[in-house]
């Protein structure tokens, strides 16, 4: 039940430069996926989550192209084959 996670440039120091990694979360949710990421790449989840364990204000996380804030946040399901993307928030115009 591997989940693919796209890693933004600023976090690739944790993944040895890898832009995409695969993890096997014990629990099929975004929260579980982040725990699996932390186990494989120690320190990474603290970049994505704040001290209270919530998603940081300026990080956007997508599961299968949907912003998790439109879904269930950290409880958003990440079934086998899911694609998770972690992206810094940017403005536009």
Partner 1 sequence: MTAVHDPALDFGPATHLTCRACGERYPLGAAYACMECFGPLEVGYELHPPSREEIAAGPPSIWRYAALLPVPADIAELSGLHPGFTQLVRADNLARELGMRRLWIKDDTGNPTHSFKDRVVAVALSAARQLGLRTLSCASTGNLANAVAAAAARAGMDHVVVIPSDLEAGKVITTAVYGGSLIAVEGTYDDVNRLCSELIGDPLTASWGFVNVNLRPYYAEGSKSLGYEVAEQLGWRLPQQVVIPVASGSLLTKVDKAFRELGTLGLVEPTPYRVFGAQATGCSPVAQAFRAGIEVVRPVKPRTIAKSLAIGNPADGPYALDVARRTGGAIADVSDEAIVDAIRLLARTEGIFAETAGGVTVATLRLLLDSGALDPDAETVVYNTGDGLKTLDAVAGVVGPTATIAPSLTEFRAALGA
Of 59, 71, 73, 74, which lies in the binding site for partner 1, with binding defined by CB under 8 A? 59
Distance CA(38)–CA(21), nearest Å, equals 12
Q: Does 56 bind partner 1 (CB under 8 A)?
A: yes
**If you compute the radius of gyration of the chain from its CA atoms, what whole number of angstroms results?**
12
Q: Does 88 bind partner 1 (CB under 8 A)?
A: yes
Distance CA(82)–CA(25), nearest Å, equals 11
Number of H helices, E strands in the chain: 2, 5
**Footprint of partner 1 on residues 16-35 (CB under 8 A)?**
19
Q: Does 85 bind partner 1 (CB under 8 A)?
A: yes
Binding site for partner 1 (CB under 8 A): 6, 8-10, 12-13, 19, 47-48, 50, 56-60, 62, 65, 67, 69-70, 85, 87-93
């Amino acid at each position: 039940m591997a989940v693919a996670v796209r890693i933004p440039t600023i976090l690739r120091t944790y993944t040895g430069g890898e832009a995409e990694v695969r993890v096997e979360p014990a629990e099929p949710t975004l929260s579980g996926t982040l725990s699996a990421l932390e186990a494989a790449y120690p320190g990474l989840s603290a970049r994505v989550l704040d001290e209270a364990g919530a998603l940081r204000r300026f990080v956007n996380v997508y599961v299968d192209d949907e912003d998790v804030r439109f879904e269930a946040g950290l409880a958003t399901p990440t079934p086998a084959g899911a694609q998770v993307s972690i992206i810094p928030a940017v403005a536009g115009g």
